[in-house]
Structure 1
Amino acid sequence: MSEEIPALRRGPHGLKRVGGTWGEILAEFLGTFILILFGDGAVAMAVAGLPGSGRTATSTTFFVGAGDWLLIVFGWAFAVMFAVYVAGGISGAHINPAVTLAFAVRRQFPWNKVGPYIGAQVAGAFVGAAVIFAVYNSALNATDAAEHTPRGSGKALVTFSAFATFPAPYFHGSWVGPLVDQIVGTALLLLLIVAVIDKRNLAPAGNMGPLVTGLVVGAIGLSFGANAGYAINPARDFGPRFFAWIAGWGDVALPGSIPGAFSWYFWIPIIGPIIGGVIGVFVYDYFIGDVLAARRAQAEGPPAGRAGEGAAEGGLDEGS
């Protein structure tokens, strides 16, 4: 169902302003805001909402099976899908600095828009985290009390996980494994995103692209998520992380440290996705994009009246 809706803004000047880059920034802000509401909302539901509401065996029971992880994976898949449906027609719905930077490097996205896009994405993620905090504050407090980890203790990792990511214990505090995980996960994300939007390839028909993009994020979560929470998006991690720091989670949020577990983790979900995103775009173009371009060139043939050198030589042979 579609319909024509009258504009809220009155007069041509207001509409003209939002018709360009400013409108794209607004779309990126709202898209990332929605991403965090559904994504972090799913995590908050799993770690605080369900246990605190009496819907699990105890007030500290969560992640007792694969189904708990599926709740989060599908939450983030839906989050990405709906965010792209909301913002895609205006800004392309990057909703991720790794996407914006990779597109600027390889997809001719204007460099002068990179800063505004990333600023809007981080701001949208920050405000989304603030709304999650407002909705789930009571549940988060109840979980901290049940876990005996006051918010300001620097050990409230369970409730912090409703906002941002952290590495699994089997990395033993090393940054190498989580960084590699973020590079690989985001490389897959960008490789598959450009495959989905490449009309020369088997791009989804109609408006199915956002759905498929959401499934891409779900697949990454199913395959790699336990390693480091599959941030694969600097804004998705840093915006809520910064809010959690302001809200009292302390060092566990910024710089991202828990004694004996990990330290100064905050930079890994920023640098890893940026590196991985650029790698993913280049890998797609080298293995697939260039092949599609070559096939298109072969199908179109040389321009009229400009036969290649080999064809000219063949013509002379035939005429001699």
Structure 2
Amino acid sequence: MSSSDIFIGETIGTAVLVLLGGGVCAAVTLKRSKAQNAGWVAITFGWGFAVLTAAYLAGGVSGAHLNPAVTIGLAIKGATPWSDVPLYLASQLLGAMIGAVLVWATYYGQFQAHLTDPAVLAAHAGNGEEGMVDPKAAPKAGPVLGVFSTGPEIRNAAQNLITEIIATVVLVLAILTEGLNDGGNGLGTLGAMVTAFVVVGIGLSLGGPTGYAINPVRDLGPRIVHSLLPLPNKGGSDWTYAWIPVAGPLIGGAIAGGLYNIAFK
């Protein structure tokens, strides 16, 4: 697999992943969206179909890792050369940022309507009910940050990190144990479908505490874009939490790779 294949496949694939995944978050969150308040089930299935679409697009080009945790797991398994890992990760981060910008462009009018709505601004003016400040509560994220990146319902660093690790181990082990392409270095046709359902299952079962990043660039790339976009009244990007959806999936991917070598090889 050439460097250009890796770059093209991972950049385009991850861009589509974040466009469709972030798109369902925008559809459910933003005012003047036909899907507003569609709920958690819509988000989990939206992300599952995002994975399915992106994996089919990139599978024949780069192996459709689309996730540094998957790349690390495959490298530990011995299926991906460690020399290719930096290019995979850089391409995935670039693709995630492109996808986030495309979500903003697609929902531009809805972002403007949402972020200039007095009720939305009042609800996010503080930490308590109806915008009243609760000095004991953690600062609220911006009113649209959830479109771009994840955040915990209960802010406990140890629990949040463990949640992301556990969820990512499930994801990467599922990828490593079935449905790889002929070279064994990425998702094949069956693997793309299986992985999409695994992502839906993780979201429904394990996504409640943190929003299940399970992918460092899916969270970091859009969070960077959120911090840079000219969105009115967008609020902060919650950088104090940002390390957890990066570190947790990377640790989980490494654990999954090690478990695979011990138990399944």
Q: When the two structures are superposed, what TM-score results if normalisation uses the length of structure 1?
A: 0.70
* Bigger helix share: 1
SS, match of residue 167 in structure 1: coil
| 1:245–1:254 CA contact under 8 A, matched in 2 | no
| 1:152–1:248 CA contact under 8 A, matched in 2 | no
Question: In the aligned structure 2, how far is the partner of 1:104 from the partner of 1:248?
Answer: 38
Question: In the aligned structure 2, how far is the partner of 1:189 from the partner of 1:217?
Answer: 7
The CA deviation string for residues 253-291 of structure 1, in whole angstroms up to 9 with x for no partner, is 151xxxxxxxx100001000000111122223323x14x
Question: In the aligned structure 2, how far is the partner of 1:161 from the partner of 1:149?
Answer: 17
| 1:31–1:95 CA contact under 8 A, matched in 2 | yes
Question: In the aligned structure 1, how far is the partner of 2:218 from the partner of 2:225?
Answer: 11
- After superposition, where does 1:180-191 map in structure 2 within 5 Å? 180-191=162-173
Cα shift at 1:149: 5.7
The CA deviation string for residues 129-186 of structure 1, in whole angstroms up to 9 with x for no partner, is 0011111122122222231169999856341111100011xx2x32111100100000
Cα shift at 1:233: 0.3
Which residue identity does 2:251 align to in structure 1? I
| 2:148–2:219 CA contact under 8 A, matched in 1 | yes
The CA deviation string for residues 89-126 of structure 1, in whole angstroms up to 9 with x for no partner, is 11110000111122222224111111111111000000
Does residue 253 of the first structure (1) align with residue 237 of the second (2)? yes
What count of residue pairs does the alignment treat as equivalent? 244
Provide the residue aligned with 1:86 in structure 2.
57
Provide the residue aligned with 2:131 in structure 1.
none
Provide the residue aligned with 1:52 in structure 2.
32
Unaligned runs of 5+ in 2: 127-138, 182-187
- For the structure 1 residues 207 and 174, does the alpha-carbon distance in structure 2 shift closer, same or farther, using more than 3 Å as the test? closer
- After superposition, where does 1:183-202 map in structure 2 within 5 Å? 183-197=165-179
Question: In the aligned structure 2, how far is the partner of 1:152 from the partner of 1:30?
Answer: 37
Query: Which residue, out of 71, 87, 94, partners 2:42?
Result: 71
- After superposition, where does 1:55-134 map in structure 2 within 5 Å? 62=37, 68-134=39-105
Query: Which residue, out of 247, 257, 261, partners 1:271?
Result: 247
Provide the residue aligned with 1:166 in structure 2.
151
Unaligned runs of 5+ in 1: 1-18, 57-61, 200-205, 256-263, 291-320
Question: In the aligned structure 2, how far is the partner of 1:121 from the partner of 1:235?
Answer: 7
Percent identity, aligned pairs only, is: 37
User: Highest relative contact order (Cα 8 Å, sep 6+), 1 or 2?
Assistant: 2
Question: In the aligned structure 2, how far is the partner of 1:212 from the partner of 1:37?
Answer: 21
Provide the residue aligned with 2:134 in structure 1.
none
| 1:151–1:248 CA contact under 8 A, matched in 2 | no
- After superposition, where does 1:277-292 map in structure 2 within 5 Å? 277-287=253-263, 289-290=264-265
Cα shift at 1:29: 0.3
| 1:150–1:156 CA contact under 8 A, matched in 2 | no
Provide the residue aligned with 1:143 in structure 2.
114
- After superposition, where does 1:24-43 map in structure 2 within 5 Å? 24-43=6-25
Q: Which stretch of structure 1 is more off in the superposition, 115-124 or 131-140?
A: 131-140
Q: Which stretch of structure 1 is more off in the superposition, 31-40 or 138-147?
A: 138-147
Provide the residue aligned with 2:130 in structure 1.
none
Provide the residue aligned with 1:218 in structure 2.
200
Cα shift at 1:198: 5.9
- For the structure 1 residues 39 and 88, does the alpha-carbon distance in structure 2 shift closer, same or farther, using more than 3 Å as the test? same
Question: In the aligned structure 2, how far is the partner of 1:120 from the partner of 1:142?
Answer: 33
- After superposition, where does 1:4-19 map in structure 2 within 5 Å? none
- For the structure 1 residues 279 and 244, does the alpha-carbon distance in structure 2 shift closer, same or farther, using more than 3 Å as the test? same
Question: In the aligned structure 2, how far is the partner of 1:54 from the partner of 1:41?
Answer: 12
Provide the residue aligned with 1:312 in structure 2.
none
| 2:72–2:257 CA contact under 8 A, matched in 1 | no
- For the structure 1 residues 120 and 22, does the alpha-carbon distance in structure 2 shift closer, same or farther, using more than 3 Å as the test? same
